[in-house]
Structure 1
Amino acid sequence: MQLGCTLPVIAWLQANEPEALAKARHLLCAKDFIRYRLTGQLATDESEAAMAPGSAADRNFHPDQAKLLGIEAHVHLLAPVRRGESVAGKVTADAAALTGLAAGTPVAIGTGDTGACVLGAGAHKPGQAVTVLGTTCLNGVLFDHAMYEPRDLGLLFIIPGRRWMKTMVNVAGTTVLDWCLNTLCPDIAAGEKPYETLGALAETSAAGSGGVTFVPYLSASGVIAPRIEARARAGFHGLAPHLGRAEMVRSIYEGMAYAIRDCYEQIGGAGEGVRLSGGGARSPFWAQMIADVTGYVVEVPEGTQFGAKGAALCAAVAIGDFGSIGEAVDATYRARRRHVPDAALKPAYDAGFARFKVASAATLGVLRDAAV
Structure 2
Amino acid sequence: MPCLLGIDNGLTVTKAVVFDETGTPLAVARRRVPQIIPRARHIERDMNGLWRATAEAISEAIALSGRSASDIAAVAATAHGDGLYLVDFERKPLGHGMLSLDSRAGDMAAAWEKDGTSAAALSRTGQVPHASAPSALLAWIRDHEPERFARIGHVLACKDWLRFCLTGTIGTDLTEASTSFTDVKNQNYSADILPLFGLNALHAALPPIARPDEIVGKVTAEAAALTGLVAGTPVVAGLHDVTASALGSGGYGEGVVAIVAGTYSINETVSASPKVDARWFCRNGLRTGEWNNMSISPASAANYDWFLDKLCGIERRSADAEGRSIHAVVAPEIEAALARPSTLLFHPYLFGSPHGPLASAGFLGLRGWHDRGDMLRAVIEGIAFNHRVHVDALREGFDPHEARLTGGISRNPVFAQIFADALGLPVTVTETEEAAAWGVALCAGTGVGLFASPRHDPRDLAGLGRTYEPHADRSAKLEERYRLHCDIAQSLAPLWPRIEALATENDLRTAPAE
TM-score range, shorter chain: 0.7 to 0.9
Q: Partner residue of 1:349?
A: 478
Residue among 377, 387, 409 paired with 1:260: 387
Q: Deviations over 1:47-82 (max 9, x none)?
A: 222114333433332322222233334312322211
1:99, 1:190 → 2: CA distance? 33
Contact persistence 1:26–1:77 (CA under 8 A): yes
Q: Partner residue of 1:237?
A: 364
Once the two structures are TM-superposed, the CA of residue 309 in structure 1 deviates from its matched residue by 0.9
Range with greater deviation from structure 2 (247-256 or 232-241):
232-241
Q: Aligned AA for 2:279? A: L
Q: Deviations over 1:274-324 (max 9, x none)?
A: 111111112111111111221211111222222211111111111222222
Range with greater deviation from structure 2 (9-18 or 192-201):
9-18
Q: Partner residue of 1:180?
A: 307
Q: Partner residue of 2:275?
A: 147
Range with greater deviation from structure 2 (154-163 or 4-13):
4-13
Range with greater deviation from structure 2 (87-96 or 248-257):
87-96
RMSD: 3.2
Once the two structures are TM-superposed, the CA of residue 93 in structure 1 deviates from its matched residue by 5.1
Q: Partner residue of 1:159?
A: 285
Once the two structures are TM-superposed, the CA of residue 263 in structure 1 deviates from its matched residue by 2.1
**% of aligned pairs identical?**
28
Matched pairs, number: 365
Contact persistence 1:214–1:234 (CA under 8 A): no
2:459, 2:178 → 1: CA distance? 26
Change (3 A) 1:290 1:24: closer
Residue among 176, 195, 210 paired with 1:67: 195
DSSP 3-state at the match of 1:142: strand
2:133, 2:480 → 1: CA distance? 41
Q: How does 1:75-90 map to 2 (within 5 A)?
A: 75-90=203-218
1:329, 1:71 → 2: CA distance? 44
Once the two structures are TM-superposed, the CA of residue 327 in structure 1 deviates from its matched residue by 1.8
Residue among 352, 356, 359 paired with 2:488: 359
Contact persistence 1:119–1:329 (CA under 8 A): no
1:333, 1:73 → 2: CA distance? 50
Once the two structures are TM-superposed, the CA of residue 367 in structure 1 deviates from its matched residue by 4.2
Once the two structures are TM-superposed, the CA of residue 329 in structure 1 deviates from its matched residue by 7.2
- The answer as to 2:376 corresponding to 1:218 is no
Once the two structures are TM-superposed, the CA of residue 109 in structure 1 deviates from its matched residue by 1.1
Q: Partner residue of 2:108?
A: none
1:82, 1:116 → 2: CA distance? 16
Once the two structures are TM-superposed, the CA of residue 83 in structure 1 deviates from its matched residue by 0.9
Task: Give TM-score scaled by structure 1 length.
Answer: 0.84
1:30, 1:256 → 2: CA distance? 26
Change (3 A) 1:165 1:235: same
Change (3 A) 1:285 1:23: closer
Once the two structures are TM-superposed, the CA of residue 87 in structure 1 deviates from its matched residue by 1.5
Q: Partner residue of 1:280?
A: 409
Task: Give the helix-richer structure, 1 or 2.
Answer: 1
Q: Partner residue of 1:301?
A: 430
DSSP 3-state at the match of 1:55: coil
DSSP 3-state at the match of 1:177: helix
Once the two structures are TM-superposed, the CA of residue 146 in structure 1 deviates from its matched residue by 2.4
2:182, 2:440 → 1: CA distance? 22
Q: Aligned AA for 2:243? A: G
Q: Partner residue of 2:73?
A: none
Change (3 A) 1:27 1:220: closer
Gapped regions of structure 1 (runs ≥ 5): none
- The answer as to 2:505 corresponding to 1:338 is no
Q: Partner residue of 2:3?
A: none
DSSP 3-state at the match of 1:119: helix
Change (3 A) 1:26 1:271: closer
Q: Aligned AA for 1:274? A: A
Change (3 A) 1:65 1:321: same
Q: Deviations over 1:317-349 (max 9, x none)?
A: 112222222223776675343212222323322
Change (3 A) 1:19 1:334: farther
Q: Partner residue of 2:238?
A: 110
